[in-house]
Amino acid sequence: MEGVSTEGIYLGSAVCATLAPALYVWVWERRGGGHLLWLWAVSTLALQGQLYMWGFHGVFGVLAVCCTLCVYCLTIRDVNEVLYMGGKSVLITGCDTGFGHALAKELCHRGVRVFAGVLDVNSSGALELKKHGPPCLHVLQLDVTDHSQVDQAYRDISAAAAQVGEEGLWGLVNNAGVLGCTADAELLPFATFRSCIEVNFLSAVHLCQVFLPLLRRSKGRIVNVASMGGEVPFRCFSAYGASKAALGHFSRVLRLELADWGVKVVVIQPAGFRTSIFKDCEDSKRTIIQNLPPDICNDYGGTYICSLQDGLSKAGQQSAQDLSPVVEDMCHALTSAFPKPLYTPGQMAWLLPFLYHLWPTALSNKLITCHKFVNCDPAEEVISAPSLNAFNPKAG
């Protein structure tokens, strides 16, 4: 060690200290830790290589090998190990269409007892699910914002579990969600913010509180469906993104709190997929204009305001139509012995948040805004208030 400076010793020790968690992350990736953790591991290993090139080998190399072997032996697990799901029950919200509908059918095919919550038991999606029938699949009337319906679902599931001698509810999938209108935050009706927060966030919190006694009894799973929009700030998605960001943070806190109970909390954070959530905004152009004062309509321009929902339709058409990546990740989260804490199905679902947090703010903002949501800018073509009378009675 003669000739080695104190700074060099500190640097070598620091690299070796970070090598162990880096290798842990690498092993975690093998059992499903995610692309971001894999990149972290590669970066740390690159530092170790640089340390060797600087001449800090010998004892540092031995320490690195020891850390690697210890961490590998302590953490190696089989990512493909699947639990026996016979007799287990899962409650899924928002099963009328989209992810929830597809997941309910897939779990039913796998022999899982599914309680599919729907907003309308007479909808086409609910009627299709009813064809599978009990005991495999039970369709429940479940408006997640209606506490009386949530309480009734709890009683129904508790009674069903008692009849077959189950320990409790194995899985809760908080999938129900709304998008509402899409526009600049100043243009959005306040009711849109309230609806997104209530459905996408507060209802999930309430369902967790209601069903946790059953989930703790079975040491089961909570799967919360967030969104890439809750991690990356997309223009015109302020209400939806804020609600999903709240759900993501709640899930991370809940994961820590329930670890002692053996309940695992998983977040599904997909990219854009073509579901019925985009169809909820067909009348939002009229809704936005009818709730805007004339001066704001004049400032932004009718052309811009009317183009917002056209941009939404375009975004929906460009989204992936195949829902299987999301459904497969949901199934893995519910059935794997070692589920990931975070799943990011879909194109750019992991890379875009990674780049957003890695790059400086100015560069990240350029990355996000390089793809315009609409084809014009605010006030690019100003339409006077009288021209909007057909849409906005307040402008008269």
**In a shared domain, residues 247 and 184:** yes
**Domain-located, residue 224:** yes
**In a shared domain, residues 127 and 202:** yes
For the ranges 34-43, 127-136, 333-342, the maximum mean pLDDT occurs at 333-342
**In a shared domain, residues 39 and 107:** no
**Domain-located, residue 202:** yes
Q: How many domains does the chain have?
A: 2
Residue type at 334 in one-letter notation: L
Checking if the pLDDT of 59 tops 50, the result is no
- Please tell me whether residue 285 adopts helix, strand or coil conformation: helix
Retrieve residue 315's tokens.
């975004």
The string of pLDDT tens digits covering residues 164-221 is 556 679 999 999 999 888 889 999 989 999 999 999 999 999 999 999 999 999 999 9
**In a shared domain, residues 71 and 194:** no
**Domain-located, residue 370:** no
CA pseudo-torsion sign 33, 37, 43, 47: negative
The string of pLDDT tens digits covering residues 115-146 is 999 999 999 999 999 988 777 899 999 999 99
**Alpha-helical segments (H) within the chain:** 6-30, 35-53, 59-75, 98-109, 124-130, 147-164, 190-196, 203-218, 238-258, 284-290, 294-300, 302-318, 324-335, 351-358, 361-369
Distance CA 174, CA 91 (A): 8
Which residue is associated with the tokens 């903002």?
365
**In a shared domain, residues 191 and 325:** yes
Give the max Cα distance, the chain: 87
* The model's pTM: 0.79
Active site residues: 240
Distance CA 206, CA 305 (A): 35
Average pLDDT on 352-375 reads 83
Nearest CA to 29 out of 341, 347, 325, 353 is that of 341
Could you tell me the CA-to-CA distances from 324 to 26, 99, 102, 214, 256 in Å, in that order?
26, 9, 8, 29, 29
**In a shared domain, residues 134 and 67:** no
Q: How far apart are the first and last CA of the chain?
A: 85
**Domain-located, residue 352:** no
Tell me the residue range of the domain where 182 lies.
Answer: 90-269+321-341
pLDDT at residue 244, as a whole number:
97
Q: Which residue has the higher pLDDT, 288 or 45?
A: 288
